[in-house]
Amino acid sequence: MLNYFDTPILEIRDELTEKSGVNVFVKREDLNHPVVSGNKWWKLKYNLEEARKLGYETLLTFGGAFSNHIYATAAAAKETGFKSIGIIRGEKILPLNATLSFAEQCGMKLHFISREEYRLKKETHFINQLKKLFGKFYLVPEGGSNLLAVKGCCEFAKEKLLPIDFDYLCLPVGTGGTMAGIICGLEGKRKVIGFSVLKDGGFLAEEVKNFASDFSGREFSNGSIETNYHFGGYAKSSPELDQFISQMKKENNLPLDFVYTGKMMVGFFDFMKKGFFEKGSRVLVLHTGGLH
For 120-172, write each residue's pLDDT tens digit: 999 999 999 999 999 999 999 999 999 999 999 999 999 999 999 999 999 99
Is 192 within 8 Å of 223 (Cβ atoms)? yes
All residues at 6 or more sequence positions from 201 whose CB lies less than 8 Å from its CB, including other chains = 173, 225, 227, 230
- Give CA separation, 260 vs 39, 88, 163, 287, in Å: 11, 19, 25, 9
Q: Which pLDDT does position 1 carry in this prediction?
A: 80
Q: Which pLDDT does position 49 carry in this prediction?
A: 98
Buried b (16+ CB within 10 A) or exposed e, 251-288: ebebebbbbbbbbbbbbbbebbeeebbeeebebbbbbb
All residues at 6 or more sequence positions from 119 whose CB lies less than 8 Å from its CB, including other chains = none
Q: What domains sit in the chain, N to C, each tagged with a CATH number?
A: 9-38+146-286 (3.40.50.1100), 39-144 (3.40.50.1100)
Phi, psi of 272 (to 5 degrees): -60, -45
Q: Which pLDDT does position 99 carry in this prediction?
A: 93
Q: Cα(124)–Cα(138) distance, rounded to whole angstroms?
A: 14
3-state per-residue secondary structure call for the chain: CCCCCCCCEEEECCHHHHHHCCEEEEECHHHCCCCCCCHHHHHHHHHHHHHHHCCCCEEEEEECCCCHHHHHHHHHHHHHCCEEEEEEECCCCCCCCHHHHHHHHCCCEEEEECHHHHCCCCCHHHHHHHHHHHCCCEEECHHHCCHHHHHHHHHHHHHHHCCCCCCEEEEEECCCHHHHHHHHHCCCCCEEEEEECCCCHHHHHHHHHHHHHHHHCCCCCCEEEECCCCCCCCCCCCHHHHHHHHHHHHHHCCCCCCCCHHHHHHHHHHHHHCCCCCCCCEEEEECCCCCC
Q: Cα(94)–Cα(65) distance, rounded to whole angstroms?
A: 12
Question: What's the burial of 289, exposed, middle or buried (CB within 10 Å: 0-12/13-18/19+)?
Answer: buried
- Give CA separation, 116 vs 91, 120, 210, in Å: 12, 7, 26
Q: Which pLDDT does position 235 carry in this prediction?
A: 85
The model's pTM is 0.95
Q: Which pLDDT does position 52 carry in this prediction?
A: 98
Q: Which pLDDT does position 292 carry in this prediction?
A: 59
Segments of the chain with pLDDT less than 70: 292
